[in-house]
Amino acid sequence: MTPIEERLNYKFRNSLLLAEALTHPSLGHETHRHHFDNQRLEFLGDAVLQLIFTQYLFDLFPTFSEGQLTKLRSRLVSREGLQVHALSLGLGNYLMMGKGEEHNGGRARNSILADAFEALIGAMFLDSDLETVRQFIVAEAKLDLDNILFEPYDINPKGRLQELLQAISPKSPTYLTVSETGPEHLKAFGAKVIWLDMELGYGEGHSKKEAETRAAIDALERKLWQANNF
């Protein structure tokens, strides 16, 4: 078994599928082999992950509405969530990519790692079957699934935001109260959340805590860190 197969605890019957899953498109641009990269497997892996998590949540929460289940699934298949799995496997160390992309930090880039994890899942699916991949995913995502079980539906936006951001950088977000208006018995506060010198969200409330919570919700909806290639 190769080192990545040992990390996966899975031996590929078709080693070309594994090679394809680990090949970033930038390598093809430099070698002019545009037909061999992980983009098609990424497309397939995304669908496989969606199906596995959809069925898991459907069975786990029989009383939840479509909207609630969709929000839960989006947490599991988000770019940040998939990056965590890629990091736990050390996937960036095994990627084959162009020298330019590697020089620009491609092995640690959130989007590249998430895409590679999807491609790896697509390759495993083609090499085995849905049940094999399901068992791997449920084991790999156990912590995420446990967190959803105990905190299923937008209970702690500040905690969720910190979880997402610390998957990218150890630096935690900070909250600043930027306004305080109204009489003493009817105060209104404004707060913003800052991370790596970026303002990610803004919220208002009748307490500082409420304003910070709304700022976290705003940040989770806007996902401005993605626009900055984190």
Among the options 118, 127, 212, 218, which is catalytic?
Answer: 118
pLDDT at 220: 87
Could you tell me which residues are beta bridge partners of residue 176? 192
What would the two tokens of residue 85 be?
Answer: 């799995």
* pLDDT tens digits, one per residue of 16-36: 999 999 999 888 766 666 668
Among the options 20, 42, 46, 218, which is catalytic?
Answer: 46
| Mean predicted confidence (pLDDT) in 172-200 | 90
pTM over 0.85: no
Task: Tell me which architecture the domain covering 160-227 has in CATH.
Answer: 2-Layer Sandwich (3.30)
Residue 146 annotated in active site = no
d(CA 29, CA 85): 27
Local confidence band at 99 (pLDDT 50, 70, 90 cut-offs): confident
CATH topology of domain 3-154: Ribonuclease iii, N-terminal Endonuclease Domain; Chain A (1.10.1520)
Q: Is the dihedral of CA 133, 138, 140, 141 positive or negative?
A: positive
pLDDT at 31: 64
The mean of the pLDDT values for the chain is 87
Kindly state the percentage of the chain with pLDDT values over 70: 93
- 90, with CB counted inside 10 A (0-12, 13-18, 19+), is exposed
* pLDDT tens digits, one per residue of 154-183: 557 888 888 889 888 889 999 999 999 887
| Mean predicted confidence (pLDDT) in 109-128 | 94
Residue 118 annotated in active site = yes
* pLDDT tens digits, one per residue of 75-84: 889 888 898 8
pLDDT at 151: 61
Helix axes 130-140, 39-60, angle to 10 degrees: 70
Local confidence band at 49 (pLDDT 50, 70, 90 cut-offs): very high
d(CA 20, CA 5): 14
Greatest mean pLDDT among 28-42, 82-96, 216-230 lies in 82-96
3-state secondary structure of 83: helix
* Domain segments of the chain as ranges: 3-154, 160-227
Local confidence band at 48 (pLDDT 50, 70, 90 cut-offs): very high
* Contact (Cβ atoms closer than 8 angstroms) between residue 153 and residue 175: no
Closest CA to 148 of 59, 48, 218: 59
What would the two tokens of residue 19 be?
Answer: 């090679």
Closest CA to 124 of 20, 229, 2: 20
Local confidence band at 144 (pLDDT 50, 70, 90 cut-offs): confident
